Structure 1
Amino acid sequence: MRWTLKPKPEAVKVSEMKKALGVDNVIATLLLQRGIDTFEAAKTFFRPSFSDLHNPYLMKDMDIAVARIEKAIEAGENIMVYGDYDVDGTTSVALMSSYLKTRINSVATYIPDRYNEGYGVSYKGIDFADDNDFTLIIALDCGVKAIDKVAYANKIGIDFIICDHHRPGEKLPDAVAVLDPKREDCNYPFKELCGCGVGFKLITALAANQGQKAEDLVEYLDLVATAIGADIVPIVDENRALAYLGLQVINTNPRPGMKAIIAEVKKDILTITDVVFIIAPRINAAGRMKHGNHAVTLLTETDFNLAAEYAVDIDQFNTDRRETDKQITEEALIQIEENNEQEGFTTVVYNKTWHKGVIGIVASRLIETYYRPTLVFTKSGDKLAASARSVKGFDVYNALEACSEHIEQFGGHKYAAGLTLLPENYEAFKAKFESVVQETIDPKLLTPELKIDLEIELGEINDKLMRILKQFAPFGPGNMSPTFMSQNLKDTGYGKCVGEDDKHIRLTVTQSFNDKIVCIGFGLGDKIDIIKSKRPFSAAYSIDENHWNGNVSLQLKLKDIKA
């Protein structure tokens, strides 16, 4: 790994922050590195609240969207709430449909089938709306590129309101309203909302029409926080407030479906990391292994006993998903080795039998082994479908755009995208993608970067520091859990490999005679020789709490060590 030490703020600014907040050097430095340079900014950071949320009417087309929905409610129109099959999409649909049902009965939900319809707005979904007399479709977490589909809906008398957060193309669909903070002509002050976040802004605007405030919609924030964590959007600005407030709901009064998932995993207090690794994969597993409808049914259920039954099914989908992605990852790694494709700038693999629902996860797993922009293809009808994942600092969406001559359809973000192409274009696309990445990527990005906030001495680690660090949460892009480094460490003599196949290390380190602290290094078993050499080494780590037999002690969670 490349260790990169973040620049230190000016000493005079650190001194001013220490004085203003009554904190030590470490905390003052970490805050300044995050752009928090005043007492007021620190207050907002440590105590996010509803007052941090922006006025929803600052979003382009919000007034038009609200007017059209109010007209539908008044006239008793049938409204379809349409969303993608992933976590952001299904939570968005659960949020919007739950809210609308408090005001009108004629609301239905629609999640496209991952295999028969694919990502985004589908003709099949529009035809379903037409057959069942729906005159308004509210599409969430998709639709900003659905120009042909929206035109088709217009022809048959169905209006569209789009709530999306993906990058639009050159032209927008001819919908009644397109809510997307990434629109070039949208002056909304925060551009990084997830799809569910855009949906929340819409129901906030609708509620304001009824004389309600955002605080009156707190019950929906467990869904928003889950989508923020799962969609890996920056946890800064409005997202930080929404995630912080949503986690409070998850841990105190979650909706029955969320409560049922949490009961399955038996954990008392959930962090945003738990949301990402415990709640989100289960919600996602429905769309991956069966159908996204199962997730919406669970998240909108008001009876806990029924929700608990649905949660058992969802848990089984997740177990099946884990087994499937493990098998496909193994097959993909063999394919790379057999074809001698370890040396390129990209990883592109294909097998017509691979499960479409897990290829995105497999792409992420392959990056763990070969750290390069990665595409995993499978057969989807008469076309090939792929999930793309990228390495930090490289925009895979732009790379795909440069290969568009070989692609039927694509969409997504800087680090994750999806595409389809015709089988006869696969080899040409693969060669072009390799060529584009080779020409545009900075070669250093092919080595994982470990960003270190600050070098500290072991003696600076104490309970007070940990108490304040915990208040930096929720963590995520834009506000990662602080990573520290310390030099001239020595093992006290008891360092050893632990776990299955000796994959991990556990040791106690010292820097001077008085400072000793336990370390755990997951996946660092191959570094044991550095420990055993009895020579000083450097470590990069986060500070963690170890809970054991009712006792709580500080420990270092190692990220890397170097001789």
Structure 2
Amino acid sequence: MRWILEDQPELEKVNTLAKQLNGDRLIASLLIQRGIETFDQAKAFFRPSLSDLHDPYLLKDMDKAVARIEKAIEKDENILVYGDYDVDGTTAVSLVSSYLLKHYPNVATYIPDRYAEGYGVSYKGIDFADDNDFSLIIALDCGIKAIEKVAYAKEKGIDFIICDHHRPGKSVPNAVAVLDAKQEDCSYPFDELCGCGVGFKLIQALGKNRGETIDDLLPYLDLVATAIAADIVPMTGENRVLAYYGLQMINKAPRAGFNAVIHQLHKNELTITDVVFVIAPRINAAGRMKHGQYAVDLLTETDFEKASKIAGEIEDFNKNRKELDKKITDEALRQITENAEEQNVSTVVYSETWHKGVIGIVASRLIETYYKPTLVFTKSGDKLAASARSVKGFDVYNALDQCSEFIEQFGGHKYAAGLTLLPENYRNFKQKFEEVVAATLPEELKTPEVKINAELELEQITPKFYSILKQFAPFGPNNMRPVFKSEGLRDNGYGKCVGEDKTHLKVGIINGVDKKTYSGIGFGLGSKEKLISNGKAFKAVFNLDENHWNGNTSIQLLLKDIQEE
């Protein structure tokens, strides 16, 4: 790992903010690194307010979207709420459909089958709408590139409202309304909403039209917070406000579906990290292993007993997903080892037997081992489908765009994308992708980096300091958990490898100044045990976290890396 110390703010700025906050200079420095330089900005950061949410009508076409939905209700039309099968899509569908059903009965949901239809708006979905007399489709977390599909629907007398957050192409579909803040001609102040976030702006606008307040919409924020956490969008601006209040809903008044999942896990209070690693994988497992409609059924069910039954089925899907994930990762690693002589700067692997629902997870696992832009392919009908994942700083979406001559269809983000291609184009694509990555991946991005916010003496870790740090949450991109570096550390002699396969490192860290012992855990750092043995001095980078054990809570160091002094 490359250790990179972030630029340190000007001392004068730090002193001024610390004085205004009547607080710690280190806290002031961490705030300035996040673009927070005044008392008022700090107040907004530490006390997110629903009044900071923007007027939904600032989104281009919002007035058209609301007018079309109101017309559908007035004319007794059937409305189909359509969304992708991942967490963002299924939470968005659950949110918009459950809101509309409170006001109007003729609403149904549609989640495309991952295997039969693939990502986004499908012809099969439009045919379903046509066969069942739906004249309006609200597409969530997808649709921004569905130009031909929207035209096909129009021929059948079906209107589209698109609520998306992906990057548009050169032109957008001819829909009644296209809500996407990433459109160049959209002046909405915040363009990093997730798909469910755009869905929330739609119901906020509908609510405003009906005289509802933001307080009336609070029960929907648990869904928005889950989508924000799972889709890894920046935890700033509106996202931070929505996630902050959504997390409160999950912990204080969760909907029956979330309650059922939490009940199974015996968790008291969930953090945003728990949402990412506990709730989101289970919602995703439905679409990966069976069908995304299970997730919608779970999230819209109001009866706890019925929700518990669905949650049990989803738990089984998740267990199967974990087993497949491990099996396919092992097979992919073997494939890479067998072709080790290739010395590529990218990783592209393929097997026609791999389960399409887990190839994205497998791609992430391969990056953990080889740290290269990665594509995992499998057979999907008469085509090959792949999930792409990237290393920090490298735009895999742009790389795929440069290989588009060999691709049938692709979409996604800077760090995660999906694509399909014809089998006969696989070798040419693989060669071209390697050439593009080799030409555009800077040398420094080939090694994982850890960005350090500040150097920290361990004696600075006090309950008060940690209490303020906790208020930096919810954490996410652009507001990551602070990373600290400390030097001159030694193990107390009881450090050891732990875990079922001994891959984690548990340490009792003695600080040279106050001789106090601080507990630390380094997940995946078992191989570095020799660096702390026999009283050797070492340095570490870490987050601060809480350790709950036997009813006691203590502050621990969550080690990200250690190096010898």
Pairing 1:78-477 to 2, within 5 Å after superposition: 78-340=78-340, 343-477=343-477
Aligned position for 2:46: 46
Aligned position for 1:73: 73
Deviation (angstroms), 1:510 = 2.1
1:294–1:314 Cα contact (<8 Å) kept: yes
Other structure's SS at 1:474 match:
coil
**How far apart in 2 are the matches of 1:440 and 1:547?**
45
Other structure's SS at 1:120 match:
coil
AA aligned opposite 2:555: L
Deviation (angstroms), 1:242 = 0.3
Deviation (angstroms), 1:155 = 0.8
AA aligned opposite 1:50: L
**How far apart in 1 are the matches of 2:550 and 2:440?**
53
1:371–1:446 Cα contact (<8 Å) kept: yes
Write out per-residue CA displacement over residues 296-321 of structure 1, whole angstroms, 9 at most, x where no aligned residue: 01111111110011100011000000
AA aligned opposite 2:169: G
Write out per-residue CA displacement over residues 317-350 of structure 1, whole angstroms, 9 at most, x where no aligned residue: 0000000111000000001111226721100000
Deviation (angstroms), 1:366 = 0.4
Deviation (angstroms), 1:512 = 2.2
Deviation (angstroms), 1:545 = 1.6
2:257–2:298 Cα contact (<8 Å) kept: yes
Aligned position for 1:516: 517
1:541–1:556 Cα contact (<8 Å) kept: yes
Aligned position for 2:551: 550
Aligned position for 1:530: 531
Deviates more, 1:31-40 or 1:543-552: 543-552
User: Could you say if the C-alpha distance between residues 67 and 487 of structure 1 is closer, same or farther in structure 2, counting changes exceeding 3 Å?
Assistant: same
Aligned position for 2:485: 485
AA aligned opposite 1:390: S
Write out per-residue CA displacement over residues 114-171 of structure 1, whole angstroms, 9 at most, x where no aligned residue: 0000000000100110011100000000000000000000111000000000000001
Gapped regions of structure 2 (runs ≥ 5): none
Other structure's SS at 2:532 match:
helix
**How far apart in 2 are the matches of 1:392 and 1:343?**
20
Other structure's SS at 1:4 match:
strand
AA aligned opposite 1:313: E
2:224–2:242 Cα contact (<8 Å) kept: yes
2:91–2:296 Cα contact (<8 Å) kept: yes
1:78–1:136 Cα contact (<8 Å) kept: yes
**How far apart in 1 are the matches of 2:485 and 2:159?**
56
User: Could you say if the C-alpha distance between residues 221 and 342 of structure 1 is closer, same or farther in structure 2, counting changes exceeding 3 Å?
Assistant: farther
AA aligned opposite 2:145: K
**How far apart in 1 are the matches of 2:533 and 2:258?**
46
Deviation (angstroms), 1:60 = 0.6
Deviation (angstroms), 1:497 = 1.8
1:342–1:370 Cα contact (<8 Å) kept: no
Aligned position for 1:561: 562
1:399–1:437 Cα contact (<8 Å) kept: yes
**How far apart in 1 are the matches of 2:402 and 2:233?**
24
AA aligned opposite 1:279: I
**How far apart in 1 are the matches of 2:552 and 2:333?**
42
AA aligned opposite 2:523: F
RMSD: 0.9
Deviation (angstroms), 1:507 = 1.8
2:459–2:513 Cα contact (<8 Å) kept: no
1:341–1:347 Cα contact (<8 Å) kept: no
Deviation (angstroms), 1:499 = 2.0
1:456–1:485 Cα contact (<8 Å) kept: yes
**How far apart in 2 are the matches of 1:62 and 1:111?**
23
AA aligned opposite 1:97: S
**How far apart in 2 are the matches of 1:553 and 1:126?**
55
AA aligned opposite 2:385: A
Write out per-residue CA displacement over residues 501-553 of structure 1, whole angstroms, 9 at most, x where no aligned residue: 32122222223252331111111111111101433211001112222222222
Deviates more, 1:463-472 or 1:547-556: 547-556
Write out per-residue CA displacement over residues 337-382 of structure 1, whole angstroms, 9 at most, x where no aligned residue: 1122672110000000100000000000000001010000000000
Other structure's SS at 1:101 match:
helix
TM-score (norm 2): 0.99
Aligned position for 2:31: 31
User: Could you say if the C-alpha distance between residues 531 and 119 of structure 1 is closer, same or farther in structure 2, counting changes exceeding 3 Å?
Assistant: same
Write out per-residue CA displacement over residues 466-523 of structure 1, whole angstroms, 9 at most, x where no aligned residue: 1011111000101001110001112222222222232122222223252331111111
Other structure's SS at 2:535 match:
coil
Q: State the aligned residue count.
A: 563
Other structure's SS at 1:125 match:
helix
Other structure's SS at 2:270 match:
coil
User: Could you say if the C-alpha distance between residues 462 and 285 of structure 1 is closer, same or farther in structure 2, counting changes exceeding 3 Å?
Assistant: same
**How far apart in 2 are the matches of 1:319 and 1:341?**
35
**How far apart in 2 are the matches of 1:379 and 1:501?**
33
**How far apart in 2 are the matches of 1:155 and 1:259?**
43
AA aligned opposite 2:140: L
Deviation (angstroms), 1:15 = 0.6
**How far apart in 2 are the matches of 1:237 and 1:300?**
28
1:509–1:516 Cα contact (<8 Å) kept: yes
Other structure's SS at 2:378 match:
strand
TM-score (norm 1): 0.99
**How far apart in 2 are the matches of 1:539 and 1:342?**
35
Deviates more, 1:528-537 or 1:263-272: 528-537
Pairing 1:4-15 to 2, within 5 Å after superposition: 4-15=4-15
Deviation (angstroms), 1:446 = 1.2
**How far apart in 1 are the matches of 2:20 and 2:341?**
56
Deviation (angstroms), 1:431 = 0.2
Which consecutive segments of 4 or more residues in structure 1 shift more than 6 A?
A: none
Other structure's SS at 1:310 match:
helix
1:336–1:342 Cα contact (<8 Å) kept: no
Gapped regions of structure 1 (runs ≥ 5): none
Deviation (angstroms), 1:215 = 2.0
**How far apart in 1 are the matches of 2:202 and 2:366?**
38
